[in-house]
Amino acid sequence: MIVTQVPDVSVPTNIEDFWRMIFQEEIHSVVIAIMPLECSVTLQQIFPLLNGTYSNHGKMFLNNKKVESTVASTAYTLEILPDGCSNSLFTTVYHIHNWKQKRGLDNVGDLVTTLEKVIKTNENTVLMSMNGTGRAGTMLALFNSMLFVDKGKEVRLWRS
């Protein structure tokens, strides 16, 4: 599990480094919680949004194989292939696009449904938000609680 912030797109190598990390760590699920137009970063700067399109970030080739949308989220299936490699990695990017910064979700069920899909894959995952703390940290706490429940373990919550 990796918890991170959206890469700084003003430095092009940051996007390349992000996708290299995804490939090297064999990340099969990326959950991004940012609102459209929340900041100067658009998802199109990070990966191709349309089915059948591709982008290159330095030596990293990204091919969008499939897009599935619901009201609250969109799932993108991406093929990631570094220059010089013959084996690609398939990663699903889940974009939660209705979670405002510094606020709770209007409907937490959408996030729970997405995290259930991630738990079922039982693969390496990245949780990502604009700054990598608030929403990404909340997703991590919910993910761990759901994992405990899924394994039949007691979830302990502490107050500070």
The pLDDT averaged over each successive group of 10 residues in the chain (160 residues) is 89 94 96 80 89 96 96 94 94 90 81 89 90 83 84 70
The predicted pLDDT at position 36 comes to 75
Domains, the chain, with CATH or none: 2-150 (3.90.190.10)
The predicted pLDDT at position 19 comes to 97
Pairing state between β 54-57 and 27-33? unpaired
The predicted pLDDT at position 160 comes to 56
DSSP character string of 33-56: E--TTSSS--HHHHS--STT-EEE
